[in-house]
Amino acid sequence: DAGVIQSPRHEVTEMGQEVTLRCKPISGHNSLFWYRQTMMRGLELLIYFNNNVPIDDSGMPEDRFSAKMPNASFSTLKIQPSEPRDSAVYFCASSSQGLRNIQYFGAGTRLSVL
């Protein structure tokens, strides 16, 4: 299995632009998680989906952030408009109840908003 695949690996954009991050979970996993990692705040959960349905989005910082999971093999995290304080590494992870909820992480997208 290729593991969790995220794209792009790096994104540099200007303040005010729309940013879309993409994630392909491990085949067969039914839960998907979006995290943000910064030096100051560590690894924070933004939102997670079970069976493509958003379950908890309480970690989404504000309305500029949105996430979708149109099918079991694809999810997006969108920031519109982006701001410099959104600069961070964004990780996607997936898990399966059959594996006792162990989360497997992608390599991350490093976002820089200038």
Partner 1 sequence: EDQVTQSPEALRLQEGESSSLNCSYTVSGLRGLFWYRQDPGKGPEFLFTLYSAGEEKEKERLKATLTKKESFLHITAPKPEDSATYLCAVGSNTGKLIFGQGTTLQVKP
Write out the residues near partner 1 by the rule CB under 8 A. Answer: 4, 31, 33, 42-45, 48, 50, 55-56, 91, 93, 100-108
Q: Indicate the residue type of 4.
A: V
Compare residues 79 and 93 and give the one whose CB is closer to partner 1. Answer: 93
Task: For partner 1, give the closer residue by CB, 75 or 103.
Answer: 103
End-to-end CA distance of the chain: 36
Q: What angle do CA 111, 75, 24 make, to 5 degrees?
A: 85
Q: Give the nearest distance from C-beta 42 to partner 1 in angstroms.
A: 5
Whose Cβ is closer to partner 1: residue 4's or residue 69's? 4
Q: Is there a contact between 57 and 46 (Cβ–Cβ < 8 Å)? A: yes
